[in-house]
Structure 1
Amino acid sequence: MFRNALRLPFKLLGIPVSLDVSFLIVLPLFAFLIGSQLPTYLQLLGVRPDSRLLEGYTPYLLGLLAALGLFTSVVIHELGHAVTARMYGVETREITLWLLGGVAQLSDMPRTRGAEAVIAIVGPLVSLALSGVFTLLRGVLPEAAGWQFLLGYLAFINLSLALFNLLPALPLDGGRVLRSLLALSRPYLEATRIAAGISRLIAFALGLLGLLVFNLFLVLVAFFVYMAASSEAEQAILSEALRGVRVRDLMTREVKSVPPTLRVSELLQRMLLERHMGYPVVEDGRVLGLVSLENLQGADPEAPIFERMGKLEAISPDASALEALKRMAECNFSRLVVLENGQMVGILSKTDLLRALQVRMVGQTVLPRSGWR
């Protein structure tokens, strides 16, 4: 999802944390906006003005601390989702901070009825708890204007974060709760379609409100909700269509490979004759990498292909077809080498997956669910 994310050199509760490029842009922007509007914030939060807070770079330092506190709160919010998902046996691949907050990328969503609602609702509850903690600290700590501002701001922003996430729109937590509750009495795919439809209506309302009050950020959020809701619906269709299908069911077992010493011109000729656009590069039974037509662009025709081959992306034959499709999308690869016990047993292309997807989707319209194996 976030191809330009910078992974931090530590993990939280065993979960990698990354910063998207958009976060690196929005953090100083938030710091500037908060700092430049500090007198307004002091008035809204009921903080007694202190002229020292408005001198020199102090407002922008406070703005930076407030922005860092906001995004730290977002990480804790996402950790709440991750810890709860772990209780259902679902791991979190990564937590990413970006322009509009944070995203906990779960490896899967548990199919236990109501589990998605439990995982989703924990996020707003964590934010509400943080708001309460900051409010309590504000009443306990000395009434220094700087501390009063920071604690008051973080209490308010966490309360806002909790309430906003409770909106019944995918991919917000409220939308996931709505889908999970709908799925208690109807198929998951139908529940997703209904929730996505409601999400689009809410996105349209948010966008209209943003235009009326000239709030660009609200318009941006509305656009994100609309696009993400459509993506959720598509993902549900993919999950349903490919459920139960394994990589070994779709992979090509008779794999044509090439040696690393083969020249670029010879490989191009072979591609033309065999109508293959990619090959595993194999030496002494060991897969070194993949070489595709894209890797050969601008190459010296006499150069050996090992100089142009790409990174090896492998997958187990027992992995789900949906996982393979996700891997291809994340890595921007069109094929995966299938390895079992370190040996190549097949290759899976995006064409294989799309063909299976088309057949399964057509089959769902003409056969009962029990008719598929």
Structure 2
Amino acid sequence: MTWSFPIGRLFGSELRVHATFFLLLLWVGAVAYAEGGPAAAVENVLFIVALFACVVAHEFGHALTARRYGIRTPDITLLPIGGMARLERLPEKPLREIAVALAGPAVNVAIWAALTLITGVQSQIDALGAIEDPGVGIVERLAAVNLFLALFNLLPAFPMDGGRVLRAVLAMGMSRVKATRVAAGAGQVLAFLFGFLGLTGGNPILLLIAVFIFMAAAAERSDVALRAAARSLRARDAMITSFESLRRDDSLQAASNALIRTTQHEFPVLDAGGRPEGVLTRGALFTALNSAQPPHHVGEIMAGPPPSVALTAPLDAALDALFQETAAAVAVVARDGRMVGYITRENIGELMVVSGQER
């Protein structure tokens, strides 16, 4: 996800934080400092660290449950609305999707129960209204936040976990694409509601949450429709066959000339036998040309070998390679390993529009 950066790995998944997550943390911390001074700020930092841990635990509830069904989670990104575990694929069976979706809120309920029952703190959801108040105990606030996270994520609308449960239930009686449309539509209606409340109440955080919900719902609907259409196509149907390639020992001037005379954004780097060794993107070339000491050869700035699929591979296999490995392109290779074409996100989208498959 753009505007996010890695902070470490845990249980085989990369932990990432979205830049806007800090807006929420800054807002809570600033209010606490203004009302209670330095002591309140220190307590608030401890609360933020604990909240961070609870959000991570929620997402690993999804990830570890998905692992039971053989589904990896490449990364987990923390957002203002909680977090997002990026599964390499979604469970196709509705009951499995329900189990994965409910695992996250279940973790928050378990944390809330532990804090309220074991420590004896009397947590009320009303404590959320004073989340920045240093007069409210940190344990009480943390318990209230976990209860809120569980309830909020159970709302029956994408991208919340309740939206995935709704989609899975609907998919038992209709197509997955149609079920996704309904759940995503509910998410966008919820986004408009949050946006209206944020505008009328002067709450920028609520506005930010509304934007994330709207965009995530739209992205989920498009992704499911794209994958449904891709199942009927092969890699050879979508690959780019007219392209210029480079060699790893080509100069940056040669790469620049190729960029100028073509419309390509990605240049496959092939060996003498025509097998892919890497990919040079337009962005990487621009960065190298603008550096104080530009490198001499393409091999110094190219990305590693791209993922590859066979000519007859299903198109959704190429999609998996593009999105799971965040590759710039997927090489389509013949039986002898020679590259005969490549696939990018852009040309897949163009294929769907031209063929009338996307809807």
Same fold by TM (over 0.5)? yes
Structure 2: where are the runs of 5+ without partners? 122-133
Equivalents in 2 of 1:293, 1:151: separation in Å?
A: 50
* Native 8 Å contact 1:90 1:108 kept in 2: yes
Residues 349-373 of structure 1: per-residue CA shift (max 9 Å, x gap): 33542344235544x89xxxxxxxx
Equivalence map 1:39-118=2 (5 Å):
57-118=38-99
Determine if contact 2:309/2:318 at 8 Å carries over to the other structure: no
**2: CA distance, partners of 1:254 / 1:31:** 55
Deviation (angstroms), 1:191: 0.8
Q: How does 1:219-238 map to 2 (within 5 A)?
A: 219-238=207-226
1:290 maps onto 2:279 in alignment:
yes
* Pair 1:315 & 2:307 matched: yes
Residue 105 to residue 331, structure 1, CA distance change in 2 (3 Å):
closer
Aligned partners of 1:342, 1:62: CA distance in 2, in Å? Answer: 63
Matched, 1:348 2:342: yes
**1:130 and 2:115 equivalent?**
no
Letter in 1 for 2:50: G
Name the counterpart of 1:7: 7
Provide the rounded CA distance (Å) in 2 between the counterparts of 1:133 and 1:203: 32
In structure 2, give the amino acid aligned to 1:6: P
Does structure 1 conserve the Cα–Cα contact (< 8 Å) formed by 2:6 and 2:14? no
Partner of 2:130: none
293 and 106 in structure 1: CA distance in 2 versus 1, 3 angstrom threshold: closer
Compared with structure 1, are the counterparts of its residues 340 and 151 closer, same or farther at alpha carbon in structure 2 (3 Å cutoff)? farther
In 2, Cα distance between equivalents of 1:160 and 1:331: 34
| Alpha-carbon displacement from aligned partner over 1:177-211 (angstroms, at most 9, x marks no partner) | 11111111111111111122222222222222223
What is the rounded CA distance, in whole Å, between the counterparts of 2:342 and 2:272 in structure 1? Answer: 22
What secondary structure sits across from 1:111 in the alignment? Answer: coil
Which residue does the alignment assign to 1:357? 352
Change beyond 3 A, Cα 1:26–1:341: farther
**Closer, same or farther: CA 120–31 of 1 in aligned 2, 3 Å:** same
- Is residue 181 of structure 2 the alignment partner of residue 181 of structure 1? no
1:258 maps to which residue?
A: 246
**Matches of 1:89 and 1:225, distance apart in 2:** 28
Q: Deviations over 1:236-286 (max 9, x none)?
A: 111111125454654457976333344455556566778766533334546
Q: 8 Å contact 1:253–1:345 — kept in the other structure?
A: no
What stretches of structure 1 of length at least 5 have no aligned partner? 38-53, 141-145, 366-373
SS in 1 for 2:104: helix
Residue 171 (1) aligns with residue 152 (2)? no
Using the alignment, how far apart are the partners of 1:4 and 1:331 within structure 2?
Answer: 16
Partner of 2:204: 216
- The CA distance in 1 between the partners of 2:254 and 2:87, in whole Å, is 43
Contact 2:72 2:87 in 1 (8 A): yes
The structure with the largest alpha-carbon Rg is 1
Partner residue of 1:204 out of 185, 192, 206: 192
Letter in 2 for 1:353: I
Q: Alignment partner of 1:314: what SS?
A: coil
Indicate the residue corresponding to 2:30 in structure 1.
Answer: 32
Distance change in 2, residues 1:158/1:323 (3 Å): farther
Give the C-alpha shift of residue 292 in structure 1. 5.0
Cα distance in 2 between the residues matched to 1:356 and 1:77: 38
Picking from 322, 330, 333, the partner of 1:336 is 330
- Structure 1 172/334 Cα, relative in aligned 2: closer, same or farther at 3 Å? same
State the one-letter code of the partner of 1:7. Answer: I
Deviations 1:127-166 (A, max 9, x none): 11111111123328xxxxx998121111111011111111
One-letter code of the match for 1:232? E
SS at match of 1:100: coil
Contact 1:296/1:308 (<8 A) preserved = no
Q: Where in structure 2 are the equivalents of 1:145-160 lying within 5 Å?
A: 149-160=137-148
Moved more, 59-68 or 219-228: 219-228
Distance 1:19 1:91 in 2: 19
Secondary structure of 1:185 counterpart: coil
Task: Measure the CA separation in 1 of the matches of 2:146 and 2:306.
Answer: 42
SS at match of 2:342: strand
Change (3 A) 1:199 1:136: same
Q: Deviations over 1:298-328 (max 9, x none)?
A: 859x985426743135113157534644665
1:189–1:240: 8 Å Cα contact kept in structure 2? yes
- 1:83-121 CA deviation, whole Å, 9 max, x = no partner? 121222211111112333211111111111332222112
Listed one character per residue, the Cα deviations across residues 4-40 of structure 1 (whole Å, up to 9, x for unaligned) are 31231x41x2222122333345434433334545xxx
1:193-232: CA deviation from partner (whole Å, max 9, x where unpaired): 1122222222222222223332222222222212221111
RMSD: 3.7
**Are the structure 2 counterparts of residues 36 and 125 from structure 1 closer, same or farther at C-alpha, using a change threshold of 3 Å?**
farther
